Structure 1
């Protein structure tokens, strides 16, 4: 029985139909995430098209149809069509010539199945004809979608040896789509070849790990990665139990998932270590600072609002949620600024320099302790401080 791709908003796009028409009959098929997510009833973000046409022919046909194209990955056969409804990537069918676990040398192909065979998981190797919506499934991807099984195409070890990052991709897809029990052969291969992750760039490891941590509930998957010895390769300092506790707090207090906060929860309260991990994952300066602030949580017991005033709202939310504390006091509350400047203290006769800073700090501490009162009370605090 022929399976059909359900109709969805994106399949009705007129600009997409014009693109498919420009490529010519029989030269285009939808592939990958758009097909998979539509079958699962999920929103589709990115649309990818596989084609038998060579990149130069794709560009020529789009030009002829008045469709703007960008050669975003021309060496690997990818051309991006710039459409009103959103960009679409068009990639020429390929086959692997050689792989080393990090990079692949590819050659263009003409066979749809050959292109599908080089992909990672069965649920990502589904093609659909734009005109008939017929689905092409050579490796059991439809059945795996039905059972929520994430499974490598063919021999899992061979797929991983082609690209070591597929180990982390497996766990990300398992966290997003998978059910239990997981595919035994896939898990065994990931455990057996976990050490191959050491050969990848830290940036690739960091990006894939953060993508995993940003999913609705990655805690069970991260715990499984620890059991299989995979987590120890990429983040030996991690405590999966702390992540599970944080995710529970996020759900209880209705807080959106945040990958960086979850990374902070996995790490012990050790600032130098947090900075090392930030460097290892090639995080930005702002991310490194936030991770360090979360790691400085040990021994600090400020209430929610004073904490937010001292370290910022976002960092305070990190610490409070990791500690299992209530964040309700911060809801709808804007962090205030102390309505007092050093010049006002000097104008009261206090000599400029360290004494002004001391008086300002003393007033600020009383202002925080009293719950951030308004300007009138700050003036009273200033009078008291100058009188002393």
Structure 2
């Protein structure tokens, strides 16, 4: 099995980077997700390279070729090269010197197998020669790809001890690439070490959880994670996966793209205070925290369009889908929220005295206009005239 080397070299910017690194000498290989996805027939986005060349020499070669280089993780041997607008991560072969579950100290190497040995799963430890497309597979990754099996390289407990995030990555990769039941040894190791997640930064946990929830249908995997107590140490508020299953079905029925934040809201109790607490714990952005709290409110007393006007279309669509109203959500997604067709200045010109009366009249007009379904023409003028008359004593 091999990659189409010529087609890959033709990708934007790749040939220039490979030439700068003298890839024909055998010192560079494609590695990781790009190789995996190509072999699975999936779209390839990011391309990573592994190399025997030390980071300082990589920088020198890129500079000589006039290719922009960003030392994104140079302490760990990673440099991002940008050629013709195409970023490519280039990482020197490594072996672990020490790990503590959150970070690793590495030593640079020229041993392809040693570099593969420190990677998490066999399907992520596949290398391809840029000149020939030949695949290097040190730990049975090709067989695991064929079986759609996500399997740790070596002892799963040891790999999790090196980086606790691998617990969540195991489930994410199984949800995306796996078929059938997860690898038993990996599943048992993740279950046994679930409390290790507490040692990780909440940002890393949130990032991985978001990636899981963004998968087409993560429900079976999330259900398994809950059954095994994987999320208890970090999001104990999640009680079951059934609300997520209902939301996934509603998204599909409405033809609305999956959204991980909306899906997190489905997993949480319908309580804004709980949602706010979880969002803060996961260190989500202020915008994400507000959205999660709005979704947790679940108030649907207003019409869909009125709701979209008051809390925004995104929040309204979230609530409608969470309430299993896909038809209303789909209709709302195709509707643009109108602007109130009058201003305070216009009210003053029509006789409303400056001061608090302007704001009060504007708010009254707005409430009536929204409640009436955003009328225009004569109906709109009737609303405005009546409110102006009330404000002016006319």
| Deviations 1:7-33, CA, capped at 9 Å, x for gaps | 585343373233223323111011001
1:65 deviates by: 2.8
1:115 is matched with: 115
Tell me, yes or no, if structure 1 residue 4 matches structure 2 residue 2: yes
1:297 is matched with: 298
Deviates more, 1:343-352 or 1:69-78: 343-352
1:362 is matched with: 364
- Look up the SS of the partner of 2:159 in the other structure: helix
- How far apart, CA to CA, are the structure 2 residues paired with 1:350 and 1:65? 70
What is the alpha-carbon root mean square deviation over aligned residues?
Answer: 1.9
1:285 is matched with: 286
- How far apart, CA to CA, are the structure 2 residues paired with 1:284 and 1:47? 29
- How far apart, CA to CA, are the structure 2 residues paired with 1:384 and 1:61? 76
| Deviations 1:209-243, CA, capped at 9 Å, x for gaps | 11111121111111110001002222111242111
Contact 1:203/1:280 (CA < 8 Å) preserved in 2? no
Q: Which runs of 5+ in 2 are unaligned?
A: none
- Look up the SS of the partner of 1:278 in the other structure: helix
- How far apart, CA to CA, are the structure 2 residues paired with 1:379 and 1:118? 71
- How far apart, CA to CA, are the structure 2 residues paired with 1:375 and 1:351? 25
Q: Which runs of 5+ in 1 are unaligned?
A: none
- Look up the SS of the partner of 1:87 in the other structure: strand
| Deviations 1:114-158, CA, capped at 9 Å, x for gaps | 000000000000011111111011111001111111111111111
- How far apart, CA to CA, are the structure 2 residues paired with 1:158 and 1:285? 37
Contact 1:340/1:378 (CA < 8 Å) preserved in 2? no
- How far apart, CA to CA, are the structure 1 residues paired with 2:336 and 2:233? 41
- How far apart, CA to CA, are the structure 2 residues paired with 1:136 and 1:177? 20
- How far apart, CA to CA, are the structure 2 residues paired with 1:349 and 1:82? 62
2:329 is matched with: 327
**TM-score, with normalisation over the residues of structure 1?**
0.94
1:313 is matched with: 313
Sort the Cα spacing of 1:161 and 1:343 in 2 relative to 1 into closer, same or farther, 3 A: same
1:258 is matched with: 259
1:38 is matched with: 38
Q: Counterparts of 1:104-253 in structure 2 under 5 Å?
A: 104-238=104-238, 239-253=240-254
- How far apart, CA to CA, are the structure 2 residues paired with 1:22 and 1:341? 61
Sort the Cα spacing of 1:383 and 1:185 in 2 relative to 1 into closer, same or farther, 3 A: same
Matched pairs, number: 385
Tell me, yes or no, if structure 1 residue 382 matches structure 2 residue 374: no
1:351 deviates by: 4.9
Q: Counterparts of 1:22-33 in structure 2 under 5 Å?
A: 22-24=20-22, 25-33=25-33
- How far apart, CA to CA, are the structure 2 residues paired with 1:369 and 1:127? 61
Contact 1:6/1:39 (CA < 8 Å) preserved in 2? no
Sort the Cα spacing of 1:5 and 1:387 in 2 relative to 1 into closer, same or farther, 3 A: same
- How far apart, CA to CA, are the structure 2 residues paired with 1:67 and 1:277? 43
1:178 deviates by: 0.9
- How far apart, CA to CA, are the structure 2 residues paired with 1:345 and 1:21? 69
Sort the Cα spacing of 1:20 and 1:376 in 2 relative to 1 into closer, same or farther, 3 A: same
